[in-house]
Amino acid sequence: MAPFLLRAERLTKVYPDGTVALHGVDLEVRPGEVLGLLGENGAGKTTLTKILSGLLPPTSGRLLTPAGPVRFHSPKDALRLGIGMVHQHFALVGTFTALENVALGLGGMSLPALRERLEALIAETGLHVPLDVPVEQLAVGERQRVEILKVLARNVNLLILDEPTSVLTPVETAELFKFLRALREKGKAVVFITHKLKEALAITDRIVVLRRGRVAGEVETARTSAAELARLMVGAEAGGRGSSVELATETPAVAREARAAAEPALVVEDLRVRADTGELAVRGLSFALYPGEILGIAGVEGNGQTELVEALCGLRPIESGRVLLLGRPVAGRSPLELYRLGLAHIPEDRWKHGLILSFTVMENAIFGLQRERAFRGPGGLLRRRAALAHAARLVRDFQIQAAGLHAPARSLSGGNQQKLIVGRELAKDPKVIVAAQPTRGLDIGAAQFIRELLLKLREEGRAILLVSADLDEVLALADRVAFMYEGAFVGVARPAELTPEAIGLLMGGVKAGAR
Amino acid sequence: MSRLGQGLRPLVESLIAGLIGLGVGALIMWAWGYNPWPAYRVLFQESFGSTYGLAGALANATPLILTALAFAIGARAGLFIIGAEGMMYMGALAAVAASLPRLPAGLHPLVSLALAALAGLLWGLIPALLRAFRGVHEVISTIMFNWLAHFLAFYLVANVLVDPVRAEKTISVARTARLPLLLRGTDLSLGIGVAVGCALLAYLWLWHTVSGYEVRAAGANPEAARYAGVAPRATVLGVFAVAGALAGLAGAVEAMGRPPTYAVYSGLTNLAGFGFDGIGVAMIGRNHPLGILPAAVFYGGLQAGARLMQMWAKVPFEVVRAVQGVIVLALALPELLRILRRLGLLRRVRRHA
């Protein structure tokens, strides 16, 4: 038997809401290796690592160390056995220095002694970090090093990194890889989570691919290719696959002809948008969206989709480039002005932008429309009767299950909340609809309702931009699919023309033909 | 649930909270060896059971309704304005100062009230601008402005508006500017009409106008409100202005409608506390203008009843205060928790998404 540091056997995780995140996953981590964990959104990567690091208990299955089976009650237990994790979102106190942040978790060690130890550790690993500057003044890459030092200071043998490169510049990524190789030389193990094929191939020794909570395959990095990984990641059935989304995707001839004649409804030219961190999240994107068409944007989340949608809808400033909505520039206009030009937005986060949970169904039905003539009477009085009639119409037309028009939105199910948002946005009679993750978290019935609605809107000649992390949904609904990777499109194609391998490669950021 | 049913729920919640408060208060009295039964009987009979008692409760409630509205409107907009105390001092002194010129009887009270509202509004201007343009948290700035108002008011009472004959108070409000008493022999003045009118207007504003809708939206979900076209800065400035004006009026009704002196005493003894008590009243009334009305009357009655409990039931003042505190706390707790949670001071238990 090969020596191992940690072994997971038949791990299954069922969340309280019934989601099965892992189905009987086996995994072994050996000393002196970098193990890649590859998969799409929702494949179970994060759940698996949370179990390995003691953050979540498995529903069934067990963890083994060379000393025998173990049970973690908290990340502390895992750390005691030399297993540490660095999360995608850092847990640092911004006003503390790197030294103080490391000291926080250690407890009982004097700062001078810790400084000595950290300086030795930095010399040994090459993870250069200024120890006496508040971490809020450090670059993201440096903060990540502080997180890694925090874990290493506890004599960790197995380091788990969750999407560590998603926040790093290419230079920082190269430095991280150098450090990981050095760690491997010392006989330590690294579990490296990523959805980027190139990185998985560059740094790992062995790759385990997860798909929908199961191990889809395990390969030696030296003997695999991007194409094979892509196939494993997306599954053989991708493309014209017997997917969970079954809808008529044939575009009627009428619509196609209409499109050929029409002007594009939305034009994006060389668009650049910054993320909250100041990094460029959208890097020179160009496309045109036509009336009577659904353009799908697929891709692993965090590749700039959110920033793109926010920029299109007036919620985020445009750094450079041009966006024309029905021939008029979008830059500098507020969401309200854009809606008056003919844009509707089904927001990605329904609780953040979509509705107000403590407001009633009626109040939410006119949200964003409150200043319209129809609802604003003389003297700024709210026309409650008109608002009630409008809400009643939405409830009827969109089959919203609510205890009444005065029930708070909080009391509605997620699906009915979403129908309320969608109904309200469509009541604006928009020419262009930007739908971001429109079916996320919905039950099958509600998701189906909304998908069919999107198709109907297309038939009516409206232009729809569908941004979704649900690959099946995009492939089933869209007339054209664009794959977004690190802020740019790596390929645009009709769904029928895509092979599973091509889809996997595009999702993983490998440009078509660039293999 | 029907609309009525939803309106009743907070009422039922408050009743239960009140009963719990009374129960704990009774336990406190019992533990210190006093009989709670006669004490409570005196409290309720004398405060609410007689015309004079009720008039006293209403008179006490008058400034509280206005300071509570000031807090509640802020809270509805997501602002934690605890500056009503200072704004109220400024309003009271403005109302006193308005008695310096001679004006006809019909006009004088209106001018005085308007000046008081303006003084309260202006006192909130700097914290409002700091919040809107520099993001300075209103809790900090309004606390600081309360102290500024405190000492400025001390100075004005002792040096500027001082009564030439009686140095312990300001000049009295002119007879032409006083709010008429509604019931001879009591403190109940037309000020209660001003307060109730303001509560009704506040209700109409928040629930029956578009701008009130936007204020509540900004308070419940600022991000979404921005998306729906609500201007965050304008909301902050507008809400501060309304809150300041209401708190200013609270000081005015006290100065213009409280016999026998119709003045502000040095040390602000006849004003101090209304601003802070208003926060408690607002919470008992669930930050709802119509909920504030009964809450303020209850609170006002409790204050009047304290003396009587001491006199008739022989419960020492300290114990009475403790009992009152428990009752108010029990009533305010549900809303207090909600506000703390919204401010992020309490961690919400998050369900796994």
CB contact under 8 A, B224 and A367: yes
3-state SS class at B189:
strand
Please state, in angstroms and rounded to a whole number, the distance separating the CA atoms of residues A36 and B88. Answer: 66
pLDDT higher at B117 or A172: B117
Chain A interface test: which of B210, B287, B352 (most A C-beta within 10 Å): B210
**What is the nearest CA distance from B16 to chain A, expressed in angstroms?**
23
Please state, in angstroms and rounded to a whole number, the distance separating the CA atoms of residues A249 and A238. Answer: 15
How many CA atoms lie within 13 Å of A3's alpha carbon, on the beta-carbon side? 6
CB contact under 8 A, A381 and B208: yes
The closest of B297, B265, B345, B249 to B61, measured between CA atoms, is B297
CB contact under 8 A, B209 and A403: no
A272, β-bridge pairs = A283, A320
pLDDT exceeds cutoff 90 at A196: no
pLDDT exceeds cutoff 90 at B318: no
Does A356 contact B at CB distance below 8 Å? yes
A198 touches A508 (CB < 8 A): yes
The closest of A175, A219, A167, A172 to A197, measured between CA atoms, is A219
Q: State residue B264's pLDDT score.
A: 93
Q: State residue B343's pLDDT score.
A: 63
3-state SS class at A285:
strand
Chain B interface test: which of A17, A381, A405, A437 (most B C-beta within 10 Å): A381
Per-residue buried b or exposed e for A246-276, using 16+ beta carbons within 10 Å of the residue's own CB: eeebebeeebeeebeeeebbbbbeebbbbbe
Residues of B in Cβ contact (< 8 Å) with A358: 220
Region of B185 on the Ramachandran plot (φ > 0 left; ψ -120 to 50 alpha; else beta): left
**What is the nearest CA distance from B87 to chain A, expressed in angstroms?**
28
Please state, in angstroms and rounded to a whole number, the distance separating the CA atoms of residues B97 and B102. Answer: 11
For chain B, what is the largest distance between any 2 Cα atoms, rounded to a whole number of angstroms?
Answer: 71
The closest of A243, A242, A246, A295 to A451, measured between CA atoms, is A246
Q: State residue A171's pLDDT score.
A: 78
CB contact under 8 A, B352 and A16: yes
A295, β-bridge pairs = A465, A480
Rg of chain B on CA atoms, in Å: 21
CB contact under 8 A, B228 and A355: no
A331 touches A323 (CB < 8 A): yes
Residues 6 or more apart in contact with residue A381 via CB below 8 angstroms: B208, B209, B210
B70, β-bridge pairs = none
3-state SS class at A64:
strand
pLDDT tens-digit series, residues A24-65 = 999 999 999 999 998 877 788 888 999 999 989 999 999 998
pLDDT exceeds cutoff 90 at A104: no
pLDDT exceeds cutoff 50 at B270: yes
pLDDT higher at A155 or B216: B216
Chain B interface test: which of A406, A417, A425 (most B C-beta within 10 Å): A406
Query: What's the mean pLDDT in A97-104?
Result: 89
Architecture of domain A253-507: 3-Layer(aba) Sandwich (3.40)
- Give CB contacts under 8 A, 24+ apart, made by B333-341: B333/B17, B334/B13, B334/B14, B334/B17, B334/B286, B335/B282, B335/B283, B335/B284, B335/B286, B335/B287, B336/B283, B339/B75, B339/B80, B339/B283
* DSSP per-residue string spanning A103-125: HHHH-S--HHHHHHHHHHHHHHH
Per-residue buried b or exposed e for A480-500, using 16+ beta carbons within 10 Å of the residue's own CB: bbbbbbbbbbbbebebeebeb
Q: State residue B231's pLDDT score.
A: 87
Q: State residue A190's pLDDT score.
A: 94
Strands A158-162, A83-86: pairing is: parallel
Percent pLDDT > 70 in chain A is 93
DSSP label of A15: -
pLDDT exceeds cutoff 50 at A242: no
A412 touches B239 (CB < 8 A): no
Kindly list the domain boundaries of chain A, sorted by start residue: 6-224, 253-507
Side-by-side strand order, sheet with A68-70: A20-29, A6-14, A60-65, A68-70
pLDDT tens-digit series, residues A359-370 = 999 999 999 899
Most confident range (mean pLDDT) of A156-165, B29-38, B189-198 is B189-198
Q: Give the mean pLDDT of chain A.
A: 86
Looking at this predicted complex, what is its ipTM? Answer: 0.83
Q: What band does A238 get if pLDDT is binned at 50, 70 and 90?
A: very low
| Cα dihedral across residues B2, B7, B10, B15: positive or negative | negative
In chain A, which residue's Cα lies nearest the Cα of B208?
A: A382
3-state SS class at B196:
helix
Domain spanning A6-224: CATH superfamily: P-loop containing nucleotide triphosphate hydrolases (3.40.50.300)
**What is the nearest CA distance from B138 to chain A, expressed in angstroms?**
23
B142 touches B81 (CB < 8 A): yes
Q: By mean pLDDT, which of A355-364, B23-32, B106-115 is the weakest? A: B23-32
Does A54 contact B at CB distance below 8 Å? no
3-state SS class at A297:
strand
Which residue in A356, A370, A380 is closest to B220 by CB distance? A356
**What is the nearest CA distance from A31 to chain B, expressed in angstroms?**
33
Please state, in angstroms and rounded to a whole number, the distance separating the CA atoms of residues A469 and B41. Answer: 66
**What is the nearest CA distance from B9 to chain A, expressed in angstroms?**
13
Is A253-507 the same fold as A6-224? yes
Q: By mean pLDDT, which of A463-467, B214-218, B287-291, B300-304 is the weakest? A: B300-304
pLDDT exceeds cutoff 50 at A498: yes
CB contact under 8 A, B227 and A368: yes
**What is the nearest CA distance from B219 to chain A, expressed in angstroms?**
10
Query: What's the mean pLDDT in A335-355?
Result: 88
In chain B, which residue's Cα lies nearest the Cα of A425?
A: B228
pLDDT exceeds cutoff 50 at A240: no
